[in-house]
Amino acid sequence: MQLSFLISPLLSTLQMISHNIDAIKLKIAMTAQRCGRAKDSVKLVAVSKRFPSSAIKEALTAGQFHFGENYIQEAQEKYQKLGKDIHLHFIGHLQSNKAKIAAQIFSMVETVDSIKIATVLNKHLEKLDKNLDILIQVNIGCDENKSGIAPENTRDLLVEISNLPKLNPLGLMTITPFSKSPEHSRPFFRDLRILSEKLKKDQLFYDNNQVDLSMGMSNDYHIAIEEGSTLVRLGTAVFGQRSPKY
Ligand SMILES: *Cc1c(COP(=O)(O)O)cnc(C)c1O
């Protein structure tokens, strides 16, 4: 982030990653404590899309084990050799024809947004005899260009998912409309939390005492934590600027 930007000429790219992770973890803990939350109540998911395995290995040496990927094939190629201590989160748009691999390689799919994809995932998980943690992706900003289920349909989807025994719905995820000003994300984060609280009262999650909210990216995660985020998905802040292709 700012600090690593200043000193980056002195450090190799790889040392910069572990430095970034330490600084981010500190900021996460301090932000949580400042608003009266436990300092370990927010998990960092390092979004490694378009970064090579060497960058992921460096993050691992800094004690980072949760990673996010947007593309099934890219994730499959990079993570095959990296061992099973890694918790891989799928954060891209999931298509039915990729659901089998997703069921195999991810520990959490954060982007379930239809009964169709939930049913396909469940079917593959039955064959694998495996349970999968999922989040429901909610289009909280009702943004036409974004995937995610409409807030008012989230309840019905969770009711239907309760009939799919291999899916553990742990909470909600959202991608807020892009804005340069982090404060613009606050009302969306708040709305997602309020929605999760309603659904929690109806006992629609896997564990209603501990419901996950995946919200907040590199430019607005401090705001997301203030609004109750439990998973922040950071790419640029951890790994630096993404190249179009690596
Ligand atoms: C790329 C991506 C991120 C990380 O974005 P940064 O701004 O680099 O932190 C988080 N969530 C999703 C869904 C993404 O696609």
Look at ligand 1, atom 4, and give the residue with the nearest C-alpha.
Answer: 235
Confidence of residue 81 (pLDDT cuts 50, 70, 90): confident
Distance from residue 237's CA to the centre of ligand 1 (Å): 10
Q: How far, in whole angstroms, is CA 32 from its chain's centroid? A: 18
pTM: 0.94
What does the alpha-carbon distance between residue 121 and residue 102 come to, in Å, rounded to a whole number? 8
Look at ligand 1, atom 11, and give the residue with the nearest C-alpha.
Answer: 233
Atom of ligand 1 nearest to the CA of 239: 8
Look at ligand 1, atom 13, and give the residue with the nearest C-alpha.
Answer: 91
Q: Could you report the per-residue pLDDT of 121-171, keeping only the tens digit for each?
A: 999 999 999 999 999 999 998 888 889 999 999 999 999 999 999 999 999
Give the DSSP H or E segment for 136.
strand 132-137
The greatest distance separating any two alpha carbons of the chain, rounded to the nearest whole angstrom, comes to: 55
What does the alpha-carbon distance between residue 171 and residue 234 come to, in Å, rounded to a whole number? 19
Residue ranges in the chain assigned as alpha helix (H): 2-7, 13-34, 53-61, 72-79, 99-105, 115-128, 154-161, 186-201, 221-226, 236-239
pLDDT at 143: 83
Q: Could you report the per-residue pLDDT of 51-73, keeping only the tens digit for each?
A: 999 999 999 999 999 999 999 99
Whether 119 lines ligand 1, by a CB cut-off of 6 Å, is no
Whether 217 lines ligand 1, by a CB cut-off of 6 Å, is yes
pLDDT at 14: 61
What does the alpha-carbon distance between residue 75 and residue 189 come to, in Å, rounded to a whole number? 28
Confidence of residue 13 (pLDDT cuts 50, 70, 90): low
Report the chain's mean pLDDT, rounded to a whole number. Answer: 93
Whether 91 lines ligand 1, by a CB cut-off of 6 Å, is yes
Q: How far, in whole angstroms, is CA 119 from its chain's centroid? A: 21
Whether 147 lines ligand 1, by a CB cut-off of 6 Å, is no
Q: Could you report the per-residue pLDDT of 172-214, keeping only the tens digit for each?
A: 999 999 889 999 999 999 999 999 999 999 999 999 999 999 9
